[in-house]
Amino acid sequence: MSEYPNVLLLPQTNQLRGLYSIIRSKETHRSDFVFYSDRIIRLLVEKGLDQLPVEEKKIVTPLGVEHDGVEFLGKICGVSIVRAGESMEQGLRDCCRSVRIGKILIQRDEETALPKLFYEKLPDDIADRYVFLLDPMLATGGSAMLATEVLIKRGVKPERIFFLNLLAAPEGIEAYHAKFPQIKIITGGIDPKLDDKKRIYPGLGDFGDRYYCI
C-alpha cells in the first residue's frame, strides 16, 4: 500500500522483491536483467488494465449456458518516452493485441538543464483513448511532466492517463502529483530519495543502458 494518494504500488510480495533484487544487482547480466524486468513490466501493465472501466455483457459458454460477463470500454494507447520507455512496449503488446503505440522523445537542454521536447509521434485519435505513459524510472519527474503536457495538449483527459514505471523516487512522485493530481502513477517500487546527482537511490542504475547495451 502506497502512502501517496496518486500512486498504485504493486503488492510487495516475496516474488516481486525477488525480481527487484535481481535487476538491482550490478552482477546481473543483461539477458537476465531484460528477462526479469519484462516480468515486472507485465505486472505493471496488468495493474494498469485493472483501472480501465468495463460494462456488463451477456456471453454464452461452450456448454450453452448464459453468463454475466464484462467487456472493456474504450481503446488503449501506449506512449513510450524514448528510449528507456520503449523497453515497456512489448509488455503492453503481450497483454493487448493490436494496441497502438506512440513515442515522445525528450532530452535535457545542455544550456538550461531542463527537459526539451524533440519529437512526438502519436495516433491521430489519441484524445479518444486511455493512455499508458511508459517510462521505467521516475526520478525528478521532468521528462514525465513534459510528456504528459504533450498528451493533454493533444486532447487526452488527465483521468485517462496512467503513468507506468518500475521505480520511483518521492521527489518525482510529489512533483508529478502537484502538477497532475488526477493522474495515477503505477509503480513497482518507491526508493527513499534522489542522490546529489538526481539519481534514484539506491536505484538500479541506468535502466536504458542495462536493458539495451550492457
Question: Domain for residue 127, yes or no?
Answer: yes
147-176 pLDDT per residue, tens: 999 999 999 999 999 999 999 999 999 999
pTM: 0.94
Q: What angle do CA 184, 190, 191 make, to 5 degrees?
A: 150
Structural domain containing residue 112: 7-212
Q: Is-catalytic flag, 112?
A: yes
CATH number of the domain within which 147 lies: 3.40.50.2020
Contact 55, 69 (CB under 8 A): no
How many structural domains is the chain composed of?
A: 1
State the catalytic residue, choosing from 68, 112, 124, 196.
112
Question: Domain for residue 147, yes or no?
Answer: yes
State the catalytic residue, choosing from 38, 94, 128, 206.
206
- Reading the block at residue 208, the C-alpha cell is 536504458
pLDDT mean values, one per 10 residues, the chain (214 residues): 86 98 97 98 97 96 97 94 95 93 88 83 96 97 96 97 98 96 97 95 96 84
pLDDT at 97: 85
CA distances from 110 to 115, 116, 148, 205 (A): 9, 10, 22, 22
Question: Domain for residue 141, yes or no?
Answer: yes
Question: Domain for residue 2, yes or no?
Answer: no
State the catalytic residue, choosing from 108, 109, 125, 195.
108
Question: Domain for residue 53, yes or no?
Answer: yes
Separation CA 53–CA 84 (nearest Å)? 28
Residue tagged 517510462 (cell numbers): 135
Selection from 115, 181, 195, 100 nearest residue 150 by Cα: 115
Separation CA 179–CA 161 (nearest Å)? 13
State the catalytic residue, choosing from 32, 125, 195, 209.
209
14-26 pLDDT per residue, tens: 999 999 999 999 9
Question: Domain for residue 139, yes or no?
Answer: yes
Identity of residue 27: E
- Reading the block at residue 174, the C-alpha cell is 510529489
pLDDT at 213: 87
Question: Domain for residue 1, yes or no?
Answer: no
Separation CA 211–CA 190 (nearest Å)? 20
Identity of residue 124: D
Q: Give 128-160 as a DSSP string.
A: GEEEEEE-SEESS-HHHHHHHHHHHHTT--GGG
Q: Is-catalytic flag, 209?
A: yes
